Amino acid sequence: MTAPSPDASPPLLAIRGLSKAFLGVQALDGVDFTLHHGEVHALLGENGAGKSTLIKTLTGVYQRDAGLVALEGREIAPRSVDEAQRLHIGTVFQEVNLLPNLSVAENLFLGRQPTRFGFVDRRAMNRRARAVLVPYGLAIDVTAPLGRFSVATQQIIAIARAVDMSAKVLILDEPTASLDAQEVAVLFTVMRTLKARGIGIVFVTHFLDQVYAVCDRITVLRNGRLVGERRTAELPRLDLVAMMLGRELEEAAHRIELGPAGGDDRAPLARFRGYGKARSVEPFDLDIRPGEVVGLAGLLGSGRTETARLVFGMDRADRGEATVDGRPVRLRDPRTAIRLGFGFCPEDRKKEGIVGELSVRENIILALQARQGWLKPLPRRRQEEIADRFIRLLDIRTPDAERPIQLLSGGNQQKALLARWLATEPRLLILDEPTRGIDVGAHAEIIRLIERLCADGMALLVVSSELEEIAAYSRRVVVLRDRRHVAELRGEEVTVERIVAAIAAEPGAKEPGAKEPGATAPGATAPGGAPR
Amino acid sequence: MIQRFLPLIVTSAVLVVGFLLCAAQFPNFASLRVVGNLLTDNAFLGITAVGMTFVILSGGIDLSVGAVIGFTTVLLAVLIEQAGWHPAAAFAAALAVSTGFGAAMGLVIHVFRMPPFIVTLAGMFIARGMGFVLTTDSIPVNHPLYGVLNDVALRFDGGGRLSLPAMLMLAVFALAVVLAHWTRFGANLYALGGNRQSAELMGVPVGRTTVLVYALSGGLAGLAGIVFSLYTGAGYSLAATGVELDTITAVVIGGTQLTGGYGYVAGTFVGVLIQGLIQTYITFDGSLSSWWTKIVIGALLFIFILLQKGLLAVWTGRGGETAEA
C-alpha cells in the first residue's frame, strides 16, 4: 500500500501543463498529473472538472493543445486508442467495450490473434487465453461467448486484455459503476495484484469509499484546473470533498432538519399491502404520505429498482393490493400511474430517459405533452417558459434551451430529466439513482431540490446506493436485502450506520469499505415489512 | 457448446427430414442425379448467399446483389457477342466491375456513415439501370467456350454429375468457412457485427473491413452472374430479379442473425439447399404451382425467426440473472 516516493525514479507517466479547449471552452488548463510505477492513483473531480478530457487526451481520442506527456521520460502523443495501446497505455471504460458475441479468447486477442501460415490458430489462442486469465483467478470456458458472463467478469477480461497488450499504464474509467459489492472486491484484488507487478493504475470513480479502499494517491481537478495531489492516507475525507467542491462543505447538506411537513398523521397518498411479484420482489407493505421522502436502500440487486418499477406499474404485481387516496387501484402500466399523478426518473438515463437528439426544451416538456395528448400541442411560448423556468430552477448548465441534450454533461442531463417530471407536477415522484454518475456539487443541489419539492407537498420515493445521500434526505428508509423489504427506519433512526447495519444483518452482505456496522441493528423493525 | 450451434443443428435437421420425406414419396428422389442438379441449379444463389452472409454478419445488408447478377449477365453478353471479347477476359472484367461496385458502396457506407440499406438500395437501382443502358434485349451467348465449360463435370454412376457451377459453389463455401473462422478478417467481421464502436475501440480496422466486405459481396455477386450466364446461356437485364431477397432468406434460415454478429457460413449452405429442396419437390410433384415454393419458404422463414428469437430469450434470460433488472 505504500507508494514510491515521487523523487525516487523517473515517474511512469508525467503530464505537465496539459491544456485542451473545445470551441473556446477551456476543458483543461495547465494540468499536471504524475503516475508512478505500482501505484493506484485516483483521478477525482466534479463533472466538467476535466477528468474525461484528460483521459481522452491520454488515450489518443483527443489531441492536446499544449503541454507535455511523457511515458518513462519519453514524450508521447498518441493519435488513436490503438496507438495509445501500443504505447503501453491501456484503458477500460465504464461500459465494457468488448464484444458479447465473440468468445472470451477472441475478445482477448482480437487484432493480434496467434496465426500459423497466415491463419488464426484457434487452439493456440484458446490456450493462451486460459493462461492469461489465470492470474485473475478466472477459470472459465474461454470458447464461450463473452456475453454469457457477468459484467464483473467482462470487466476483468477487459482489464486482462489491456494488461496483456503490455500495458504499463492502466486507466480504469468508472469500472465499478455497475458492479455489486462482491464484484467490486474481486476487482480490487485484481488491481492490487497488478499494482504489485509495477503497473500504474489511474482510477476514476465517484465512490469515495472505493478511493480510500484502494488508492495510494489522489489528484483532484476542478473546472479544468489542478486543485492538488495528495496521499490518500494524509487526506481526510472531508478535506477531499472540500477540494472537489472548492469550498468548505456545508454541514447542513448532510444533516438536514426535516420540517414538520408530512408527519405520520397524514393520510397516505399511496398504500401498498402484501404487494409483490414472483421472482422480482417479495410481498411488501409500504405507505407513502404527501410531503415525505421515502428512501429505498440496499445493495445492487436487492430489489430496490424492482420495488420502484412495481409502484410505477412498469412491472405488474401478481399479488397484494394498492390504494391511492384510499381507493383501490390496479397499476397495470405506467400510463395508469401517470394518470394517478406518479412520475418516474429511471436509473439508466441514456437508455430509458433522455432523447439525445432533441433539445433540452423538448426533453423537458416531453412528459407534460404526453400527458396532455399529442393532439393538443403546448404553445411554443409556453414550452419556452417551462424550459427556461426549470433551467433556472435546477441550474441546468446549457448555453440555451435549444441545445441537443446529448451535448450536456451527465449531471445536467439528469437534472433535465428531473425537470421533465417536475413539469407535470406529480404527486408522487419516483427517483431511481438520481445522483448516479453525478459530481458532488450537483449532488448537493439535487438533494436541496428534493427537500424543496417535499415542502410543497410532493411525495418522493428514492432509490439510491449512496447511503449518505439517502440518510440525508429521507424521512423513512426501507431497507431491502435479497429481494425482501427487511427493515423500515424512521426519523431519528435514519442514519448511515443503521442502514448499513440493516443491510449487513447477514454476514458478508455489506458494501465494501462501508463503515463497520454496530453489533445490532437497533431501531430496525422485524423483517418482512412494517407491522400492520 | 450445443447451444451455440443450435440454430445450425435445427436447420440441418429440417433439411435431412425434408429430404427423407421427399425420398419417401418419390423413390427416384434420393439419387446422385437429383442431388447434383440441386447443387447446379442453386449454385448462383449459394455463391451470392456467401457474400450476403458476410455482409449480414458484419451488421449490414446488401440489396444490390440481384441487380449485380443481372448486370453481369448483360455485360458478359455484350462483351462477348457484340464487342468480340474472349469470355475469359469478359469474366475478369465482370469480376473487376462488380468487386469495384461493391467496394464503392462500402466506401460510401463507411465514409458518410450511411445506412447500408439505403446505399445498397441505391446500388440496386444503379446496377439494374446500367444493365438496361447496355441493352434491353435478351442476348444469347453462343461462344464455344460456354459449351465447353457447361460440359465440365465430375460424373458419377447413375447419371449424377457435379457441374462446374456446383464445384465453384462448393469451393466458395469452403473458402468462406476458412475466411470466417480462421482469419483475422473473419474475426473483424464478427466484431463489427457485434458492436461497431467497441470494435473500433479494440483496434478493429472498421473502414477497411467495411469496404472489403461489400467488395467481397459485390465480387461474389459478379461470380454468381458468370455462373448464371453459363447456366442460362444468355444476358438479360431483368435476370435474377429478387435474388437479393432469396439470399437474405437463405442466410436467415441458415441461422445468421439479421442484426449481425451471430451466425455461420455453413448454415447459409444448408439454407440454400432447403430452398432448392422445396423447389425440387414441387418440380417432382408436377401438379403444384411453383408459387408454393414462396409460401413454404415464407412459412419456414417465419418459423426460423421465431426460433431464433426464442433461443435468444433463453440465452439472455440466463445471463440476466447476474444483472439487476
pLDDT tens digit string along A73-111?
Answer: 889 998 888 788 888 998 887 766 789 889 999 999 998
Q: Is residue B98 part of a domain?
A: yes
Q: Tens digits of per-residue pLDDT, B260-305?
A: 998 999 999 999 999 899 888 888 888 878 788 888 888 888 887 7
Of the candidates B142, B147, B62, the residue with the CA atom closest to the CA atom of residue B99: B62
Whether A115 and B201 lie within 8 Å, measured CB to CB: no
The three cell numbers of residue B282 are 414441387
Distance, first Cα to last Cα, chain A:
51
| Most distant pair of Cα atoms in chain A: their distance | 80
Question: Which of A197-211, A339-353, B239-253 is predicted least confidently?
Answer: A339-353
B262 or A182, greater pLDDT: B262
Spatial CB neighbours of A375, under 8 Å, sequence gap ≥ 6: none
pLDDT at A437: 57
Whether B194 and A111 lie within 8 Å, measured CB to CB: no
The three cell numbers of residue A227 are 486543485
Contact status, residue A83 vs residue A253, Cβ threshold 8 Å: no
Binned at pLDDT 50, 70 and 90, residue A220 comes out as: very high
pTM of the model: 0.70
pLDDT at A192: 92
Distances (CA, A) of A461 to A127, A262, A296, A482: 51, 14, 7, 19
Number of Cβ pairs closer than 8 Å across A and B? Answer: 85
Sheet holding A25-35, edge to edge: A25-35, A13-22, A66-71, A74-75
- Bridge partners of A273, per DSSP, are A321
Distances (CA, A) of A136 to A122, A160, A189, B25: 22, 8, 9, 59
pLDDT at A247: 52
Domains and CATH numbers, chain A: 13-248 (3.40.50.300), 250-341+426-532 (3.40.50.300), 350-425 (no CATH)
- Grid cell 401438379 is found at B287
- Report the alpha-carbon distance of residue A481 to residue A226 in Å, rounded: 41
pLDDT at A1: 43
Angle at B245 between CA B36 and CA B197, to 5 degrees: 115
Range of the domain at B14: 2-315
Tell me which H or E stretch contains A479: strand A476-481
Q: Is residue B325 part of a domain?
A: no
| Most distant pair of Cα atoms in chain B: their distance | 69
Contact status, residue A464 vs residue A433, Cβ threshold 8 Å: yes
Of the candidates A347, A279, A278, the residue with the CA atom closest to the CA atom of residue A312: A347
Coil, helix or strand for A436?
coil
Q: Spell out which residues of chain B touch residue A100, defining contact as CB-CB under 8 Å.
A: 194-195
What's the total number of domains in chain B? 1
> Looking at chain B from residue 181 to 220, which residues have their Cβ under 8 Å from any Cβ of chain A?
181-184, 186-188, 190-191, 193-195, 197-204
B319 or A210, greater pLDDT: A210
pLDDT at A351: 61
- For A50: left if phi > 0, alpha if psi spans -120 to 50, otherwise beta; the answer is left
pLDDT at B49: 97
A350 or A447, greater pLDDT: A447
Binned at pLDDT 50, 70 and 90, residue A443 comes out as: low
Question: Which of A90-104, A386-400, A498-512 is predicted least confidently?
Answer: A498-512
Say whether residue B2 is in contact with chain A using an 8 A CB cutoff: no
The three cell numbers of residue B29 are 428422389
- Bridge partners of A364, per DSSP, are none
Whether A360 shows a pLDDT value over 60: the answer reads yes
pLDDT at B73: 96
Do the bridges between strand A89-92 and strand A169-173 make them parallel or antiparallel, or are there none, so unpaired?
Answer: parallel
Whether B191 and A102 lie within 8 Å, measured CB to CB: yes
Q: Tens digits of per-residue pLDDT, A279-294?
A: 678 888 888 888 888 8
User: ipTM value of the model?
Assistant: 0.83
Of the candidates B166, B135, B163, B152, the residue with the CA atom closest to the CA atom of residue B235: B135
A239 or A64, greater pLDDT: A64
Q: Spell out which residues of chain B touch residue A82, defining contact as CB-CB under 8 Å.
A: 203
- Bridge partners of A343, per DSSP, are A429
A273 or A302, greater pLDDT: A273
Distances (CA, A) of B289 to B118, B246, B299: 34, 18, 16
pLDDT at A528: 39
A199 or A515, greater pLDDT: A199
Q: Spell out which residues of chain B touch residue A126, defining contact as CB-CB under 8 Å.
A: none
For chain B, give the number of residues: 325
Contact status, residue A296 vs residue A473, Cβ threshold 8 Å: no
Average pLDDT (A216-238) is 88
Q: What is the CATH number of the domain that holds B271?
A: 1.10.3470
Q: Is residue B320 part of a domain?
A: no
Whether A120 and B186 lie within 8 Å, measured CB to CB: yes
Distances (CA, A) of A503 to A92, A280, A479, A514, A519: 30, 18, 7, 11, 12
Average pLDDT, rounded, for chain A = 79
Q: How far is A176 from chain B (nearest CA, A)?
A: 13
pLDDT at A522: 40
Whether A259 shows a pLDDT value over 50: the answer reads no
Whether A111 and B181 lie within 8 Å, measured CB to CB: no
Q: Which residues of chain B register pLDDT less than 70?
A: 1-3, 308, 311-325
- Bridge partners of A226, per DSSP, are A221
Of the candidates B246, B245, B242, B247, the residue with the CA atom closest to the CA atom of residue B67: B242
- Report the alpha-carbon distance of residue A146 to residue B269 in Å, rounded: 27
Q: Spell out which residues of chain A touch residue B262, defining contact as CB-CB under 8 Å.
A: 101
Q: Tens digits of per-residue pLDDT, A138-150?
A: 889 999 989 888 8
- Report the alpha-carbon distance of residue B199 to residue A98 in Å, rounded: 7
- Report the alpha-carbon distance of residue A129 to residue A138 in Å, rounded: 10
* DSSP assignment letter at A506: S
Of the candidates B123, B191, B88, the residue with the CA atom closest to the CA atom of residue A108: B191
pLDDT at B174: 96
Binned at pLDDT 50, 70 and 90, residue A390 comes out as: confident
Q: Is residue B243 part of a domain?
A: yes
Helix spans in A197-269 (H): 208-214, 237-245
Top residue of A101, A125, A159 to mutate, by most chain B CBs within 10 Å, is: A101
Task: Kindly report the backbone phi and psi dihedral angles of residue A40, in degrees, each rounded to the nearest multiple of 5, phi listed first.
Answer: -105, 120
> Looking at chain B from residue 235 to 264, which residues have their Cβ under 8 Å from any Cβ of chain A?
261-262
B179: closest chain A residue by CA: A119
Whether A306 and B204 lie within 8 Å, measured CB to CB: no
pLDDT at A305: 83
pLDDT at B157: 77
Contact status, residue A84 vs residue A171, Cβ threshold 8 Å: no
Where b means 16+ CB within 10 Å and e means fewer, B186-204 reads: bbbbbbbbbbbebbbbbbb
